[in-house]
């Protein structure tokens, strides 16, 4: 069972950048896909980005394409979400998740483990 801890959230002005980290414990990290999701107040959790087990394939939501980049370092058991050109509508709690599978997915029910979330607030 993978356990996940996110960090790197905070308050930033519009146009700024943040890098979220997701530290994983457990031996299966390097063999499963990782994803980032977010949930804003009053809204459903939504897909942000995902990366396959090796880091060779990534996917991201249209709303963040060109601004956010997902990556991973299997030697460090850590996944990252680099967020640039942040907008107020990016404000949300961001969650990382470990998949059941090798391949990345946009569907929350394909993820076996979730972190506790980290707050990202973008001021206008």
Instruction: Provide the pLDDT for residue 61.
Output: 98
pLDDT of residue 1: 75
Q: Which residue has the tokens 């999701």?
A: 37
Residue-level pLDDT, tens digit, the chain, 124 residues = 789 999 999 999 999 999 999 999 987 899 999 999 999 999 999 999 999 999 999 999 999 999 999 999 999 999 999 999 999 999 999 999 999 999 999 999 999 999 999 999 999 9
What is the pLDDT, as a whole number, of residue 12? 98
Which pLDDT score is estimated for 76? 95
Which pLDDT score, from 0 to 100, does residue 86 have? 98
Q: How far apart are CA 87 and CA 117, in angstroms?
A: 19
């Amino acid at each position: 069972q993978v356990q996940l801890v996110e960090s790197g959230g905070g308050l930033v002005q519009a146009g700024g950048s943040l890098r979220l980290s997701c530290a994983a414990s457990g031996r299966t990290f390097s063999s499963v896909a990782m994803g980032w999701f977010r949930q804003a107040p009053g809204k459903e959790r939504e897909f942000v980005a995902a990366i396959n087990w090796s880091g060779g394939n990534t996917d991201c939501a249209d709303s963040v394409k060109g601004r956010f980049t997902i990556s991973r370092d299997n030697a460090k058991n850590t996944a990252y979400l680099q967020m640039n050109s942040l907008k107020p509508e990016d404000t949300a709690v961001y969650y990382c998740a470990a998949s059941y599978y090798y391949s990345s997915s946009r569907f929350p029910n394909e993820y076996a483990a979730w972190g506790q979330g980290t707050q990202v607030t973008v001021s206008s």
